[in-house]
Amino acid sequence: MFIRKAELSDAAHLSALSEQLGYTVTPEDMAARLDKIFNEADHAVFVMETENSVAGWVHIHGRHLLESPAFAEIGGLVVDSAHRRKGIGEKLMRQCEQWAREKGYAAVRLRSSDQRKEAHEFYKRIGYDNVKAQQVFHLKL
């Protein structure tokens, strides 16, 4: 297994893994999203490749806000259920931390839904602190 940057040809694998998070996305829509992200200098998508598949993916991007210093944020992380508890998630997160350092960010943040208790324990175990509780509001356009 090894980590590499995602490619458009990974779209079907990333789409299937997204389903495990509860997000339905077609391989075609995933390819379109990847294509857009690949053209953004302040975004990266990494995958953990196995001998014939993708065991997990992570998306990281820069966030620039008026009220706080810039930081890197995890847009999503998923490890295939058949490959969990093998260190893949941590390796993907460490890859993001390295990316963030190289881009000059002083911090990595992530958001995790309240019901994902196992994910919260994972993030704490690898050194992340829960610093804020919030609600997310959405307006469909």
pLDDT confidence of residue 74: 97
Band (133; pLDDT cuts 50, 70, 90): confident
At 110, is the pLDDT very low, low, confident or very high (cuts 50, 70, 90)? very high
pLDDT band at 134 (very low <50, low <70, confident <90, very high): confident
136 pLDDT tier (thresholds 50, 70, 90): confident
End-to-end CA distance of the chain: 41
Per the prediction, the chain carries an average pLDDT of: 94
Give 37-80 pLDDT, tens digit per residue.
999 999 999 999 988 889 999 999 999 999 999 999 999 999 99
| Confidence (pTM) | 0.93
Greater model confidence, 92 or 22:
92
The pLDDT of residue 55: 96
pLDDT for the residue 52: 80
Question: Measuring CA to CA, how many Å separate 46 from each of 23, 37, 67, 97, 141?
Answer: 18, 12, 29, 12, 30
Q: What are the residues whose beta carbons fall under 8 Å from the beta carbon of 57, sequence distance 6 or more?
A: 6, 10, 13, 14, 17, 45, 46, 47, 48, 76, 77, 78, 92
